[in-house]
Amino acid sequence: MAAHSLLHSLPLLCFLLQVTTAAFSGERGTLSGTVSDSTTGEALAGVRVAFYDEAGLVRWNATNRFGFYAFSDVAPGRYTLVAFGFRGARCEHALITSDSVPDVRVHIRLSQKEVELNEVVVEADRAGDLAPLAVHEIRPELIKSLPSIGGEPDVFRPLQHLPGVKTSSELLGGMHVRGSSPDQNLILLDGMPLLNPTHFGGLLSVFNPDIVRSVGLSKGVLDAMYGGKTSSVLTVATKEGSRERVGGSAGLSMLSTRLMLEGPLTENASFIIAGRRLYADLLVPVFADAVKSPRFYFYDCNAKLQYAPSGADKLVLTAYLGNDVLWRSRENADVNFDINWGNKAASLRWLHLFSSALFANVAVIYSSYSFSTRILSEPDKGYIDWLSNSSIADLTVSGKLEMQLSDAMTLKGGAELTRNRHTAEAFDKVAEVERGMLPPSTAYAADASLFLQHEAKFWQSLSTMVGIRLNSFANGMFGDAEPRLAASLSLSDDVHVKGSWTISHQYLHLVTRNEISFPTDLWLRSGRDVEPSRMTQSVMSIEKSFADGTYDVVLEGYYKTMKNLYAYRQMADVVAGIPSPDNFVKGTGEAYGAELLVRKDVGRFSGWIAYTLSWTKRTFPELNNGEPFYAQYDRRHDMSLVVRYKASDRWQLSGTWTYSSGQPYTLPAGQFAFPSSEYGRHYLDFPALNDRRLPSYHKLDLGATYSFSWFDMPFQVLINIHNAYNRHNVVARYVSYELFKPVLKDLTLFPFLPTVGISCTF
Amino acid sequence: MIARNISFLLIVLMIVWIGCEYTTDGVELPYEERLVVWGRCDDSGADFTFERTLRLGEDRVEYSPRLNDVNAYIKHEHGIVEVPLDTAGGNHGFYRSQVLFAPGEQLELFAEWHGKKITAKTRRPATPQVESFRAYLDSSVQPTMLVCEGTFVPLYDELYTSWIDIYISPWDTTQYIRIPQERRTYLRVNDAAPDGRIHVSERYRNAPSLPDSITIEVLALDKAYYDYWVSQGDPGSSGFPRSSLFSGAFRSNVKGDGVGVVWGTTSNRKVLRFH
């Protein structure tokens, strides 16, 4: 779609502006600046900014992740600069008059108050978008309005309803994007990678919904800025904290309680801090034996401090700490244990505008994931039966430059240097007093990456992206080049064709048992005996808008090949410590499919329908007799229906319905013994891996949000009904023995489950 | 193993808290009758034992699963020959071929039973060479200990196991002692010392004098044998029966409608005589 029609098709929402200067002389100059939220002062990404002269639209662009926009080579004249937020609200204009100053910087402050009624729910890769990078953006309003488990809004829930995104079950909920495993997703929280993005084995994500500003999912590693993972990029941006006033929010669900505080520190600085904790363990003494019962809880904390000493500089300090803890009291005389795992991450980022056409982003990032276990069977003797600690930590220094060569061309480049530390220790029957004397095994490695990416628009109908990423991993043991190519072509104002082809590599492999991720799973770094995974992905899509952009239809097809995937050997010895390559086998994978998304974003009634037809296969020479088999998360058909209805100012209703073909699983088809077997011992015969299918999965979740004020504080009550028609969705089927007689057992998770939660802002 | 149990613990806790387990209605326990074969090819020829798989939970009545009507053939460098049922084995599904395979030669098995077909390939490894072997009494410890030390040179991608037999007449009524009694340790070229040799060392406690003779025997095995036995593990060790949550299948060189393993083996021995 041409830019002009695109802009006019967007119901204008928001508003403008503080004009710092306005001027153009006979010399051609640049027009740049930032767009921020007028309420909180936070930078806004993805906002369309355009400027007009008397004849109409001159040019348009969008703000980057840091709210920055720029137009170069602007002729002197009188212009109106407009920032477009989201649909359904008006936009005001500001005039810019010519002067002798060639470069003009305009900081725009948008009001989002009117967004709430009819905001766009899935903003990007929309039919009006010529950008070749397709990113599904999820806004916090959507996250909080969809049905959830326990009344706890979660970032992953709306993502799981997108085409091409699947989960193993509602509990074991790592994201499988286009036939890939969860460890192949690059998860970034404010640019900091998190290895374990979920709590409690996938029940909830680690992202506190109160602090999330935006979520973007790219179903491929297309942008050359990103690397290290092969399947997808999930970027979660958190709020920066209000620059206007001290405030916050609090929430209580049937799972957890949470609190967020934000506010200005000085005129140029703000903070935000948030915490969340599962409180189920605190109730254990009420309902069960406090000493004997195992307890579980998790918590996560976010903090962010931003300081903008000038319009050209911004410093952002971000920190995250999250932990899951499973424990039994030390007072228990039998066996007690203390198992915990979690992420830690922190970053210091400096954003600098060298000029209106040159933008720098420099960061120091620390990120780690650790898992530790301590089991004591004789607590009074002070001996540990089993002790293991493992952690994987990265310290990264990155520098990125974004240069606007012209309105139609952008050049991005950067470098990353990472120091990795992988530590593991495991002791059996070690006295606690001796623990400090035994050094853990530690491996260090240095990794480096360079990337360069050129983005261009031609004739307002063709957009291209050409990128290359060069990786050096494990002290130079591996060197890989990753080309990233994408293009978008407008066939008419409302029809676009897009294509992309990428190669990506992954150097850190999560080796799971049967595709279900647990905290105990091992991260395996590429090294002498473990080659990097390599994925090639080709995508073609066609997008069309209907009814003046009320409805968008996106049809995509993809084909992926994967090399050097790792899985456990059959019945490998699982030991703690840095994993031995001898325990793993190497294989290949293939995934292909088609995705259809029909979306309505405007009006009181909004939502989408997503359908995916897909195949996901794996081939390991040493598994399944070398024959290809379907991955556990292979689903032939997968469908999601998401609806939201704004019934009134107080009531908002929502519902999601999902259907997917049954997941593959394995069952023994008989038993046998060997002549040398121990007496009476038999072995199970598994003719093939994943050669059976569980019953199809479908589920309806309903939600309602009621808004009201109390003492001038806005409250929201979230009422959810999980599994409304009480479908017994089988997540596992296996053989169990009851009095030596085999029976087939099914395992189901959440039944019909009404829950309620409440939140307020202040 | 403990890490696996931690996974199990986590799963159990999740299921206890939020899961529901129930007996599946209307779904039969699966049963697919398949061939079971275990075969061995050594200096004396090739022999095979055939069975059928049983239903889960079906009692095994001694030789009842054995099959005596299997059409079995082996392929060697001169062609394909039938492997007859060895009636001397009491019609217990035992088949033997007198065709000899030299070390390094490949054997291919074809078998068919009631329409179910399997194939399996194995190769007799090169004969292992025992380079050195010695034994002596170590009286520096009490009681005196008999020490046996041997070396052999492993070949790439071969699998070895070894044992030492002590033949004695004066000590007591035991005819011989095999150490280790039941060995499941398999050695590969990766286990070689920096000098490229595998060193085998065994000690026998409470040895008053040297025995009549001591024999070291080194077996080379087709790696399929090792893979098979390693992959079978212990079905109960994961806590769950292997199925959806812990599914798996044996690594087997038997292809088609069956399971089992066919392996080639060679051996060599060295004997020390003291009396």
**A374: pLDDT strictly greater than 60:** yes
Best CA proximity match to A219, nearest among A591, A492, A600, A740 = A591
Integer Cα distance of A261 and A248 in angstroms: 4
Task: Look up residue A272 and give its two tokens.
Answer: 């935000």
Contacts of B242 in chain A (CB under 8 A): 666, 668, 684, 686, 734
Q: Which of residues 16-75 of B touch A (CB under 8 A)?
A: 17-24, 27-34, 36, 38, 49, 51, 53-58, 60, 65
Contacts of A667 in chain B (CB under 8 A): 30, 243-244, 247
DSSP codes of every residue in B186-236: -B-GGG--TTS-EEEEEEESS--S--SEEEEEEEEE-HHHHHHHHHH--TT
CB distance from A621 to chain B under 8 Å? no
Phi, psi of A198 (to 5 degrees): -130, 155
Contacts of A424 in chain B (CB under 8 A): none
Query: b or e along B81-97 (b: 16 or more beta carbons within 10 Å of the residue's beta carbon)?
Result: eebebbeeeeebbbbbb
Which of B6, B38, B53 faces A671 most closely, judged by CB atoms?
B53
Phi, psi of A644 (to 5 degrees): -135, 140
Which residue(s) pair with A365 in the sheet? A347, A396
B250 to chain A, closest Cα gap in Å: 7
- Interchain contact, A571 vs B232, CB within 8 Å: yes
More confident position, A245 or A100: A245
- Rounded to the nearest angstrom, the gap between the alpha carbon of residue A79 and the centroid of all alpha carbons in its chain is 39
Q: Are A482 and A504 in contact (CB under 8 A)?
A: yes
Integer Cα distance of A412 and A422 in angstroms: 31
Residue whose tokens read 């070690």: A430
Q: Which residue of B has its CA nearest to A339?
A: B6
CB distance from B181 to chain A under 8 Å? no
Integer Cα distance of A341 and A349 in angstroms: 27
Best CA proximity match to A318, nearest among A278, A350, A355 = A350
Phi, psi of B228 (to 5 degrees): -65, -50
ipTM of the complex, rounded to two decimals: 0.78
To probe the interface with A, which of B247, B251, B255 has the most A CB atoms within 10 Å? B247
Task: Look up residue A692 and give its two tokens.
Answer: 């059976």
- Going by pLDDT thresholds of 50, 70 and 90, the confidence category of residue A126 is very low
| pLDDT-wise least confident of A36-50, A344-358, A388-402, A425-439 | A425-439
Task: Look up residue A755 and give its two tokens.
Answer: 């829950």
Distance set, CA A157 to CA A173, A237, A703 (Å): 10, 17, 13
Residue whose tokens read 């900014």: A49
Integer Cα distance of A591 and A270 in angstroms: 45
Integer Cα distance of A18 and A109 in angstroms: 7
- Interchain contact, B30 vs A673, CB within 8 Å: no
Best CA proximity match to B183, nearest among B205, B167, B154, B159 = B159
CB distance from B90 to chain A under 8 Å? no
- Interchain contact, B24 vs A623, CB within 8 Å: no
Best CA proximity match to A93, nearest among A101, A84, A104, A105 = A84
CB distance from A375 to chain B under 8 Å? yes
pLDDT for the residue numbered B244: 31
**A127: pLDDT strictly greater than 50:** no
CB distance from A333 to chain B under 8 Å? no
pLDDT for the residue numbered A6: 34
pLDDT for the residue numbered B231: 61
DSSP codes of every residue in A53-76: ETTEEEEEEE--TTSEEEEEEEPS
- Phi and psi based region of residue A377 (left: phi greater than 0; alpha: psi -120 to 50; beta: remaining): alpha
Integer Cα distance of A429 and A386 in angstroms: 6
Integer Cα distance of A753 and B14 in angstroms: 16
Task: Look up residue A208 and give its two tokens.
Answer: 């506190």
- Going by pLDDT thresholds of 50, 70 and 90, the confidence category of residue A102 is low
Would you say the C-alpha torsion A68, A71, A77, A82 has a positive or negative sign? negative
Task: Look up residue A474 and give its two tokens.
Answer: 């494990």
More confident position, A528 or B16: A528
CB distance from B246 to chain A under 8 Å? yes
Find the Cα–Cα–Cα–Cα dihedral A168, A172, A178, A183, rounded to 10°: -140
**A710: pLDDT strictly greater than 70:** yes
CB distance from B230 to chain A under 8 Å? yes
Residue-wise pLDDT for A399-430, tens only, equals 999 988 887 888 999 999 999 998 877 665 55
Integer Cα distance of A269 and B147 in angstroms: 77
Integer Cα distance of A396 and A752 in angstroms: 46
B50 to chain A, closest Cα gap in Å: 10
**A696: pLDDT strictly greater than 50:** yes
Q: Which residue of B has its CA nearest to A687?
A: B249
Tell me whether strands A651-660 and A697-710 are parallel, antiparallel or unpaired: antiparallel
Q: Which of residues 189-218 of A touch B (CB under 8 A)?
A: 200-201
Integer Cα distance of A353 and A355 in angstroms: 5
Give residue B233's identity as a one-letter amino acid code.
G
Task: Look up residue A45 and give its two tokens.
Answer: 């990404």
CB distance from A388 to chain B under 8 Å? yes
Percentages of chain B per state (helix, strand, coil), in multiples of 5: 10, 45, 45
- Rounded to the nearest angstrom, the gap between the alpha carbon of residue A412 and the centroid of all alpha carbons in its chain is 23
To probe the interface with B, which of A200, A427, A520 has the most B CB atoms within 10 Å? A520
To probe the interface with A, which of B4, B6, B255 has the most A CB atoms within 10 Å? B6
**A301: pLDDT strictly greater than 90:** yes
Residue-wise pLDDT for B43-102, tens only, equals 889 999 999 999 988 888 878 889 999 999 999 877 888 888 887 767 788 999 988 999
Give residue A694's identity as a one-letter amino acid code.
L
Which residue(s) pair with A363 in the sheet? A349, A398
Integer Cα distance of A379 and A375 in angstroms: 9
Residue-wise pLDDT tens for chain B (275 aa)?
444 455 555 555 555 555 567 777 777 888 999 999 989 999 889 999 999 999 988 888 878 889 999 999 999 877 888 888 887 767 788 999 988 999 989 999 999 999 999 999 998 988 888 888 888 888 888 888 888 888 888 876 677 777 777 776 655 544 555 554 334 466 666 677 788 788 888 777 777 788 888 888 888 888 777 777 666 554 333 333 333 333 445 667 888 899 888 989 898 888 888 87
- Going by pLDDT thresholds of 50, 70 and 90, the confidence category of residue A115 is very low
Integer Cα distance of A734 and A74 in angstroms: 68
| pTM tops 0.90, yes or no | no
Peptide bond into B143 cis (omega under 30): yes
Which of A296, A428, A672 faces B36 most closely, judged by CB atoms?
A672
pLDDT for the residue numbered B218: 83
- Interchain contact, A513 vs B34, CB within 8 Å: no
Using DSSP's 3-state secondary structure scheme, residue B5 falls into helix
More confident position, A441 or A158: A158
Q: What is the mean pLDDT of chain B?
A: 77
A690 to chain B, closest Cα gap in Å: 8
pLDDT for the residue numbered B14: 54
Angle, vertex CA A657, rays to CA A651 and CA A661, nearest 5: 170
Give the mean pLDDT of A527-532. Answer: 84
A139 to chain B, closest Cα gap in Å: 30
Which of B2, B57, B244 faces A666 most closely, judged by CB atoms?
B244
Task: Count CA within 13 A, CB hemisphere, residue A389.
Answer: 9
Integer Cα distance of A423 and A576 in angstroms: 11
pLDDT for the residue numbered A130: 62
Contacts of A518 in chain B (CB under 8 A): 7, 10-11
- At a CB cut-off of 8 Å and minimum separation 6, what does A164 contact? A177, A178, A219, A556, A558, A593, A595, A612, A614
- Interchain contact, B6 vs A373, CB within 8 Å: yes
Residue-wise pLDDT for A473-499, tens only, equals 887 788 899 999 999 998 988 899 999
Contacts of A742 in chain B (CB under 8 A): 29, 56-57
Which of B24, B65, B248 faces A571 most closely, judged by CB atoms?
B248
pLDDT for the residue numbered A518: 56
Task: Look up residue A505 and give its two tokens.
Answer: 């590599």
**A14: pLDDT strictly greater than 80:** no
Is B58 exposed, middle or buried (CB count within 10 Å of its CB: 0-12, 13-18, 19+)? middle
B16 to chain A, closest Cα gap in Å: 10
Q: Which of residues 588-607 of A touch B (CB under 8 A)?
A: none
Which residue(s) pair with A391 in the sheet? A370, A423
Task: Count CA within 13 A, CB hemisphere, residue A637.
Answer: 8
Which of A518, A670, A728 faces B56 most closely, judged by CB atoms?
A670
CB distance from A348 to chain B under 8 Å? no
- Residue A236: how many other CB atoms lie within 10 Å: 24
Contacts of A668 in chain B (CB under 8 A): 30, 56, 241-243
To probe the interface with B, which of A523, A585, A727, A747 has the most B CB atoms within 10 Å? A747
Q: Are A386 and A373 in contact (CB under 8 A)?
A: yes
Q: How far apart are the first and last CA of chain A?
A: 42
Query: b or e along A450-478 (b: 16 or more beta carbons within 10 Å of the residue's beta carbon)?
Result: bbebbbbbeebbebbbbbbbbbbbbeeeb
- Going by pLDDT thresholds of 50, 70 and 90, the confidence category of residue A644 is very high
Q: What is the mean pLDDT of chain A?
A: 80
Tell me whether strands A256-264 and A247-252 are parallel, antiparallel or unpaired: antiparallel
Task: Look up residue A225 and give its two tokens.
Answer: 């800025």
- Residue A611: how many other CB atoms lie within 10 Å: 17
Integer Cα distance of A258 and A57 in angstroms: 46
Query: b or e along A542-576 (b: 16 or more beta carbons within 10 Å of the residue's beta carbon)?
Result: bbebeeebebbbbbbebebebbbbbbbbbbbebbb
pLDDT for the residue numbered A20: 33
- Interchain contact, B233 vs A666, CB within 8 Å: no
- Interchain contact, A575 vs B34, CB within 8 Å: no
Q: Are A236 and A215 in contact (CB under 8 A)?
A: yes
Which of B20, B33, B233 faces A748 most closely, judged by CB atoms?
B20
Q: How far apart are the first and last CA of chain B?
A: 47
To probe the interface with A, which of B50, B56, B159, B188 has the most A CB atoms within 10 Å? B56
- Interchain contact, B248 vs A733, CB within 8 Å: no
**A755: pLDDT strictly greater than 70:** yes
Integer Cα distance of A735 and A721 in angstroms: 32
DSSP state of A739: T
- At a CB cut-off of 8 Å and minimum separation 6, what does A283 contact? none
pLDDT for the residue numbered A573: 46
- Phi and psi based region of residue B238 (left: phi greater than 0; alpha: psi -120 to 50; beta: remaining): alpha
Which of B17, B53, B246 faces A670 most closely, judged by CB atoms?
B53
